[in-house]
Structure 1
Amino acid sequence: MCDERLSRGAVCPLLLPTPRRHLPRGLRRHEWARSIECRVTAFQTGSSFSAPQASDNPPAIILGGGDIAVPVARSLGSAGIDVHALGTTPDPIRHSRYCAAFTDLGAGQGVQERWLEWLQHGPRGAVILPCNDDGLELVARNRQTLLELGYRPVEGRDDVMLAMLDKGRTYELARRAGLETPRSIEVRTNKDIDAAAGDSTYPCALKPLHSHLFAKRSGTDAKLLVVHDRSALESGLTRLLGLGLEMMVTEIIPGGEDQLFDYHSYIDRNGEPLFHFTARKLRQFSIHFGIACYRVGEWIPDVAEESLRFLQGAGLRGLAYVEWKRDARDGRLKLIECNHRFTPLGPLMERSGIDLPLLVYNQVVGRPGPPVDSYRRGLHLWDPEKDVRAFLAYRSRNEITLAQWLRSLLHRQTLPIFRWNDPRPTVAYCLRLFVRAARVLTGRSRISRGTPEHWKAENRQLAEP
């Protein structure tokens, strides 16, 4: 039985990293006070005291992640750890005061090869933390090379990491553990299309087996495409397979957005969880089949139990995220996906009292803590830009009114990127939105034939109704 409160011993501040001088003044005072407290304790007990220096903290290298990477950098940078980020031009992390160095290596095809080339000359001894699937795949396929170069890759079993990047394999592991998944058919070649079309009920969803490859090659940020008849399914699969993608045709589990649940944990070397964190989605964008733009932290016991059952059954070690949906037909949880890395839940977990990036970092370097005895519940994570767009889409379908939307926001909100002591990532993000909107309004945003954007425009009939 999972327990929301896990008994963990307190960690002496001596074992935690020491901040650098350039950190915000309030943080320096806090760490100075902790150092004095430990000095007093050492004097009273007669033990020796030797405060760790910034040089004792191996640097951290963040691989990709976009917005997800920002709270990771803030957590580690606040603890006095040099953060090196590899990303692309629009990434807000490049503007964060907690990012010691940013290298623009682009995204898309060949990004893993470019990262590996950079790592040939990167800071030795650094902890490597993937914030997207490309980073995770790089670690899983090149762990031995990274170790030989002197790096410390994030903890995990590489075969399980790769399995979690393949939704077909993920579902197979879930069913082997006795858990339920959506009814699905894998489509890896053109020969599989007829069987999938004949066995599917409509509407159904076309879902990529490898999400990071789908994002690169299709030019859409959608998680899946919904089709309403056999003709749309066949044409959609033919086009997607032509892009070198492997797909899955899956049933659409009935139920609202508020029946989608998240679980985060860290499974140690003995297969035991260091904490449990659960949350409920409230709205998504794109609506019904997109990414959460509003969610709340709640303790949901059966989500924690089923998630731990899946993770231990799969043999996963390290950082883990599991998504579920409760089926409106029978009330049972169905596995949606599992990610072996940091996710957009980071700011909500931080606000709730779980410093996940520092916990992961300390596990890699062999330090204890920070301990997680409990966390605050009922806190909300709100993405204003995406939620406004979601509201307009929901209202166009008469699924929500303005009054209902406003009432749902009458809580103290946690924002994905904004922090008063580190505002530049938010400023850069808003400027990018402004420029994008201006291009659309002035007609300067063009879609060229043959580009992924053109493919996306041609296939709007495959998107959700």
Structure 2
Amino acid sequence: MENKAVVLGANYYIGLSTIRCLGMHDVHVAAVDYAWEGSYGLESKYCSETLIGPHYKEDPEGLVTFLINYAKQQTSTPVLIPTADPYVEFVDAYLPELREYFLIPQTEQGLYTKVMDKGTLHTLASEHGVAVPETVEVDDEDFVQKVDEIIQYPCLVKPVDSPAFVAKFRRKLFQVSNQEELLEKVQQAKDADIEVIVQRIIPGFDDHMYTFDAYLNQEAKVTHWVTCQKLRQFPINYGASVYTQQKYVPELYDLGAKFLEGIGYKGFAEIEFKKDAETGRYYLIEINVRITNLNHLLYKTGINIPYITYRDLTGDPLEPKAIQEDKNMVFWYAYEDLLAVREYIKTGQLSPKKVIGSYFRPKAHAIWDPKDPKPAIAFGKKMAGLVVDKVTKKS
């Protein structure tokens, strides 16, 4: 295949999974990160090239120049695939320049950012008839009164820009139980110069979280899709998927495809929904506009998103496909799932018996692959190093 694939991000399993999904189809993969240390995805046998470039935040202009210089050396236009939110924001910020030298699904600058931004996303969703949790802006003069009347406690203080919030607080949001906590957490966010909103908690355990994962072609039409159900996440209750099953839920296609096509979206997106335990209504929670945590599960069930993207952009699209049955397959990120299980049991949300019973199913592992073991070994060394550092500091 003449066109190379440039994968941005190799220090997390999403990048690793993307590299594997392309490399196994003999696509030349150039994996890019800003440091060798911790970038275990660069150890994959499916990497044709490993490149260390400037940091996306510390030197974005340098990274643009680095990537364009690489593309200029190629005989065919490379496909550019970001695998983490900061890389998506980077690509969106420099989309016109990068599109001159790379094949990128999105053509409208700002749409990625608009969809990642909780405020503008909720406006878009409401305009297209998709339910979102009741929300109050903290800049409103009477926002505390509105929270009391519209949302009530407990409620959530959520970031408008998730990557910045997670980088600062190492969590996706704050849950608050009263007015005092609300004001404290809102002030913490303001002190960090991070915009937040206040949102109602949709009732239901973590298994009421669902995803609609879809690819939209250059006509902004859904060509491939699959739906999943979260079973456990970390941090618990408001975190990322660590144990998730593929589950056919046709209603999510009706909601998700209509919305994404309606806003003219192109490329891959994952919409997270929560099903209200009391009403059964699905609420849009957020959208991931890069390759997802569940990528290996999607691949194992028959939807190879990175390769679908590659083929579509290089002018040889794959046949449309949807997974319209239950495959009894689960995604498992063992390291964080074990941390999550401890918390679920400690808080009485799950029993040991239920947890143990859940493990006897075919799995799509986040990192481990017997055909490509080096990344898992590198990840193990990384974790061992962190443990040694903690023990050393304590002593």
Q: TM-score, normalised by structure 2?
A: 0.91
**Cα deviation digits, residues 198-229 of structure 1 (max 9, x gap):** 2212211111111122233x141x11111122
Distance 1:270 1:147, change over 3 A: closer
Q: Look up the match of 1:215.
A: 166
Q: Which residue is equivalent to 1:292?
A: 241
Shift of 1:160: 2.2
Q: Is the 8 A contact 2:106 2:265 kept in 1?
A: no
Unaligned runs of 5+ in 2: none
Structure 1 residue 333: deviation in Å?
0.4
3-state DSSP of counterpart to 1:427 = helix
Distance, in Å, in 1 between the alignment partners of 2:56 and 2:96 is 24
User: Which residue type is aligned with residue 61 of structure 2?
Assistant: E
Match of 1:463 in 2: none
1:365 maps to which of 314, 331, 334: 314
Q: CA deviation at 1:357?
A: 0.8
Distance 1:407 1:401, change over 3 A: same
Which residue in 1 is equivalent to 2:267?
A: 318
Q: Which of the numbers 344, 357, 361 marks the counterpart of 2:293? A: 344
Pairing 1:47-446 to 2, within 5 Å after superposition: 57-64=2-9, 66-87=12-33, 88=35, 89-105=37-53, 109-110=57-58, 112-124=60-72, 125-148=77-100, 150-187=101-138, 192=139, 195-200=142-147, 201-216=152-167, 218-220=168-170, 222-369=171-318, 372=321, 374=323, 377-444=327-394
2:20 maps to a residue whose letter is R
Match for residue 461 of structure 1?
none
Q: What's the RMSD between the two structures over aligned residues? A: 2.0
- 1:340-367 Cα shifts (integer Å, max 9, x gaps): 2211111001111112111101111111
TM value normalised by structure 1? 0.78
Q: Deviations over 1:258-317 (max 9, x none)?
A: 110011111123332112200000011111111111010011011111111211222212
- Please say if residues 327 and 334 of structure 1, whose CA atoms lie closer than 8 Å, have aligned partners that are also in contact: yes
Shift of 1:156: 4.3
Question: What amino acid maps onto 1:144 in structure 2?
Answer: P
CA displacement 1:174-214 (0-9 Å, x = unmatched): 11111110111233xxxx27533222122111111111222
Give me the whole-angstrom Cα distance separating, in 1, the residues matched to 2:61 and 2:304: 31
CA contact (8 A) 1:208 1:247 kept: yes
8 Å contact from structure 2 (residues 214, 270) kept in 1: yes
Give the residue type in structure 1 aligned to 2:193.
Answer: G
One-letter code of the match for 2:164?
L
The answer to whether the 8 A contact 2:225-2:303 is kept is no
SS at match of 1:158: coil
After superposition, the C-alpha distances for 1:398-419 in whole angstroms (9 at most, x for unaligned) are 2222222111111122211111
Question: Distance in 2 between the 1:106 and 1:391 partners?
Answer: 37
Cα distance in structure 1, aligned partners of 2:157 and 2:241: 19
SS in 2 for 1:122: helix
What letter matches 2:102 in structure 1? Y
Equivalent pair of 1:257/1:283 in contact (CA under 8 Å):
yes
Aligned partners of 1:163 and 1:169 also within 8 Å: yes
What SS does the aligned partner of 1:129 have? strand
Deviations for 1:416-453, whole angstroms, at most 9, x for unmatched residues? 111111111111111211221232234359xxxxxxxx
Change (3 A) 1:106 1:235: farther
Q: Which deviates more from structure 2 when the two are superposed, residues 201-210 or residues 364-373? A: 364-373
Give the Cα separation in 1 of the matches to 2:157 and 2:60.
26
Contact 2:328–2:362 (8 Å) recurs in 1: no
1: distance between equivalents of 2:254 and 2:51?
A: 40
Residues 205/69 of structure 1: CA separation in 2 closer, same or farther (3 Å cut): same
1:105 and 1:111 in contact (8 A); partners too: no
What percentage of residue pairs aligned between the two structures are identical?
26
- The 8 Å contact of residues 193 and 237 in structure 1, kept in 2 or not, is answered as no
Q: For residue 3 of structure 2, what is the amino acid of its counterpart?
A: P
CA distances 1:220-259 after superposition (whole Å, capped 9, x unpaired): 1x11111122222222222212222111111111101111
Aligned counterparts of 1:198 and 1:108: Cα–Cα separation in 2: 40
Aligned residues of 1:140 and 1:158 also touching (Cα < 8 A) = yes
The answer to whether the Cα contact below 8 Å between 1:277 and 1:299 also exists between their aligned partners in 2 is yes
Distance 1:97 1:140 in 2: 30
Q: 1:436 to 1:369 in 2, by over 3 A?
A: same
Partner Cα separation in structure 2 for residue 153 and residue 271 of structure 1: 13
Judging changes above 3 Å, is the alpha-carbon distance between structure 1 residues 236 and 196 closer, same or farther for their aligned structure 2 residues? same
Alignment gaps of 5+ in structure 1: 1-16, 18-56, 446-465
Q: Say if 1:154 and 1:364, in contact at 8 Å, map to a contact too.
A: yes
Contact persistence 1:83–1:98 (CA under 8 A): yes
